[in-house]
Amino acid sequence: MEIETVPSSIADALARRGLSVHGYNPTRELLFGDIGEDALDALYREMKRYSVRLFLREAIRHREGFTPDMLGDFTSRDERERMVRRFVELGVLDGGEDGYRLARGPVRSFGGTLEWFVARMMKTEFASPSIWGVTLRDAPAGGDYDVLSFFEGELIYIEVKSAPPKGIETTEAGAFLERINTLLPRAALFFVDTQLRMRDRVVLLFHQRFLETLGDPYPARPDLRHLEREIFHIDHRIFILNAGRDVGKNFTVCLRDFLGRGLSVL
């Protein structure tokens, strides 16, 4: 996989904010190596399915080796066997009937591959130049910016969570908001790759974070509103969403709402 240069649109947007890229598109924690552009396209298409992303998480969890029967019951055994054959074909898995393992060796987390997927989705489905795993020089908030994208002439920041809602803490909601204050994107998305409900934990974490940072003993909570399904927004610019039935459609809902805030004539 070739390392792309930082798109000039993103570099210029950062420069206007007094920021610049220190590192981006890291490959160390990806599930795949140099597998070629056709294979990357095929991998991206496979990963659009939630069951496939669950399969890849399971492959990481059983990094020492596994059989299809060891990978849980999130889909049928026939489908798990199909996935195994497909990912052997794509060069992501090695092995045979006695067991399979990741071709690149042990990978600790699905997070990096999920960031790659979201960045590729923004590029493929939304014609938006994107980079992932971004670190910025001298950024006050520090940390990594999972995905930066240039959408409709605007800088967009996407935080990507591969953990289920119960694994997300208030500090992560706080770090996301602090990075927004550093980056000053036109819109930001907090994406959790799950089909579980968001309002039962993740939305409450944001409410809790807001309350912790407000000095008034009886503060008015920021206007965190329900958009549709498990998608929520703050002022049509900050979105909290899950994967739902289709991750691309959920992103479309958020981005269309963002555009409608600024461009609607009604």
pLDDT band at 265 (very low <50, low <70, confident <90, very high): very low
DSSP letter, residue 23 = E
Query: Of 149, 163, 158, whose CA–CA distance to 192 is shortest?
Result: 163
3 state SS of 259: helix
Per-residue pLDDT, 264: 44
User: Do you know the residue count of the chain?
Assistant: 266
pTM score of the predicted model: 0.92
Task: Indicate where the chain has its CATH 1.10.10 domain(s).
Answer: 37-102
Per-residue pLDDT, 222: 65
With beta carbons less than 8 A apart as the criterion, state whether 177 and 157 touch: no
Phi/psi-derived region of residue 26, left when phi > 0, alpha when psi is between -120 and 50, beta in every other case: beta
Please name the helix (run of DSSP H) or strand (run of DSSP E) that holds residue 101, with its range, or none.
strand 99-102
With beta carbons less than 8 A apart as the criterion, state whether 192 and 202 touch: yes
E runs forming strands in 162-250: 187-192, 224-228, 231-234, 238-242
- What does the alpha-carbon distance between residue 81 and residue 116 come to, in Å, rounded to a whole number? 25
pLDDT in tens, 159-184: 999 988 999 998 898 899 899 989 99
Q: Which CATH number fits domain 111-263: 2.10.69.10, 3.40.1440.10, 3.40.1350.10, 3.90.420.10?
A: 3.40.1350.10
Task: Indicate where the chain has its CATH 3.40.1350.10 domain(s).
Answer: 111-263
With beta carbons less than 8 A apart as the criterion, state whether 67 and 99 touch: yes
**How many H helices and E strands in the chain?**
8, 10
pLDDT band at 266 (very low <50, low <70, confident <90, very high): very low
Which residue is associated with the tokens 């997927």?
A: 117
Task: Output the six-digit token pair for 34.
Answer: 């140099």
Neighbouring residues of 176: CB distance < 8 A, sequence distance ≥ 6: 159, 188, 190
Question: What average pLDDT score do residues 240-265 get?
Answer: 88
3 state SS of 204: helix
Task: Output the six-digit token pair for 61.
Answer: 């969890």
pLDDT in tens, 43-88: 999 999 999 999 999 999 987 889 888 888 888 889 999 999 999 9
With beta carbons less than 8 A apart as the criterion, state whether 1 and 38 touch: no
Task: Output the six-digit token pair for 254.
Answer: 């958020």
Burial of 217 (0-12, 13-18, 19+ CB in 10 A): exposed
CATH of domain 37-102: 1.10.10
pLDDT in tens, 108-132: 899 999 999 999 999 999 999 999 9
Per-residue pLDDT, 245: 85
Pairing mode, strands 145-151 and 21-23: unpaired
With beta carbons less than 8 A apart as the criterion, state whether 51 and 79 touch: yes
pLDDT band at 220 (very low <50, low <70, confident <90, very high): low
pLDDT in tens, 191-215: 999 999 998 889 888 887 776 665 5
pLDDT band at 40 (very low <50, low <70, confident <90, very high): very high
142 pLDDT above the threshold of 70: no
Query: Of 215, 159, 166, 213, whose CA–CA distance to 191 is shortest?
Result: 159
